[in-house]
Amino acid sequence: MAKTSQPSVIVAGGGIGGLSAAMGLARTGAKVTVLEQADTFGEIGAGIQIGPNGFHAMDYLGVGKTCRERAVYIDNLIMMDGLSGEEILRAPVDEPFRKFMGNPYAVIHRADLHSAFLDACQASPNVTLVNKERVISYENTPNGVRVKTAAGTVYEADALIGADGIRSKIREQMTGGDPLRLSGHVAYRAVLPIEQMPEDLRWNAAAIWVGPKTHFVHYPLQGWKTFNLVATFVTDLENVGSNEPGKREEVVEKFQHIVPRIRKVLEIPKDWRRWVLGDRDPIPHWVDGNVALLGDAAHPTYQYFAQGACMAMEDSVCLSDAFEKAGSDVTAALKAYETIRIPRAYRVVLSSRELGRIFHVEGVERLVRNAWLKDKTPDEFNHSVRWIYGGNGLTGAKPHAVESGHAA
């Protein structure tokens, strides 16, 4: 379907994926309406890790400068053996790593990243933000797509981008309903004031303590005012994607086999929040006519590579680039986006599954894992992860010169 004017696009979902897609499309001249089911635009959760590919994407989308000002730049990625307390891997992500990858590795509060895109969208005359509207169905039409919300409102546009998360209604309609795939793990998250974090663990690093059927992550946030804590263990819970109060006693119990210095940290937070982790199996198509999936709606992934937000931003880079190159041909743009992104995103999804298994091995496999990682030099580590950190969702794409706050 070729058109002669700038396309109109509806984005379902106002999370990081939806807002980054809206911002990228708006910078191409598209008129974008974001429909968000919540009363306000905001993010739940706490800290997230942003690899160089995430910064590559943010630069392209125009919010790189803003996010750099809000991030904490760590010096190392560290893996510790939770049973013995010995260091397994120390991968420097300081200046040589940054030069090699072209951008830093950092940590940021999820709300700070989300608000950078929200501010940019609010500053753009090409973006309209609408709350209390949950997309429940779509219909391809000769002129584009018709969208219906739970409130009964009907919207029409040239294209619909489903960025409505792991429980996407748009994906459900597109696929006929493919099942969630449970990881068997639950993550408990908390944010600890810096003064409550033991001094001997106030590392300028993203650190992970791996143990049989458990792992624990900690890193600094918000200008070293807080520490982000994530305790993950095997569970039989089935409510995927929950954000529920968690019991401190359950966390402590599951980590009884881990070294005492970590058990003591787990006893400190009073307010844990619980998420049961899941993903979905890869599907061969993300596009149905003038409708495309993006972010967790397309490729929900486990957290083990810390790439959920980065992959959503990469999707947005690719999508906006496809629209820019295709001009007003929405169909061509969506097909180009799908062709480029599916192999890349699903490599991350499948690799994350395997990394999660490696984190939680026991017995002889644990000894093999430790020996294998201890042998890695910083240069070997850098080359082994360049496939994931060395791009922004495109081949040869360059950042826009305009920064957040000066939107198209």
pLDDT on residue 280:
94
Q: How far apart are CA 32 and CA 42, in angstroms?
A: 19
pLDDT tens by residue, 112-131: 999 999 999 999 999 999 99
Residue 367 CB: number of other CB atoms within 10 A?
A: 12
pLDDT tens figures, 293-347: 999 999 999 999 999 999 999 999 999 999 999 988 999 999 999 999 999 999 9
Please write the tens of the pLDDT for every residue from 145-194. Answer: 999 999 999 999 999 999 999 999 999 999 999 988 887 889 999 999 99
Across the range 251-270, mean pLDDT stands at: 95
**Topology of the domain covering 8-71+103-178+281-356+383-389:** FAD/NAD(P)-binding domain (3.50.50)
Residue 181 burial (10 A CB sphere; 0-12, 13-18, 19+): middle
Question: Could you report the per-residue pLDDT of 33-61, keeping only the tens digit for each?
Answer: 999 999 999 877 689 999 999 999 999 99
Look at residue 275 and tell me whether its pLDDT is greater than 90: no
Which residue from 14, 18, 28, 112 is spatially nearest to 70, judged by alpha carbons?
A: 112
> Residue 149: beta bridge partners?
135
pLDDT at position 72 is 95
What 3-state class would DSSP assign to 34? strand
How many Cβ atoms are within 10 Å of 236's Cβ, its own excluded?
8
Please compute the mean of the pLDDT values over residues 130-137 and round it to a whole number.
97
Domain boundaries, the chain: 8-71+103-178+281-356+383-389
* 396, pLDDT greater than 50: no
pLDDT of amino acid 235? 78
Q: What is the pLDDT of residue 247?
A: 86
Structure confidence at residue 167 (pLDDT):
92
pLDDT class of 408 with cuts at 50, 70, 90: very low
**359 three-state secondary structure:** helix
pLDDT computed for residue 405 by the predictor: 32
As a whole-number percent, the residues of the chain with pLDDT over 90 amount to: 84
pLDDT band at 4 (very low <50, low <70, confident <90, very high): very low
**Single-letter code of the amino acid located at 336:** A
Cα distances (angstroms) measured from residue 374 to each of 8, 78, 361, 399: 52, 11, 16, 36
- pLDDT tens digit string along 88-104? 999 999 999 999 999 99
The encoded tokens of residue 306 equal: 């810390």
The pLDDT of residue 83 is above 80: yes
Q: 246 falls in which pLDDT band (50, 70, 90)?
A: confident
Instruction: Quickly state the pLDDT bin for 237 (edges 50, 70, 90).
Output: low
pLDDT of the residue at 184: 81
- In this predicted model, which residue has the larger pLDDT, 240 or 299? 299
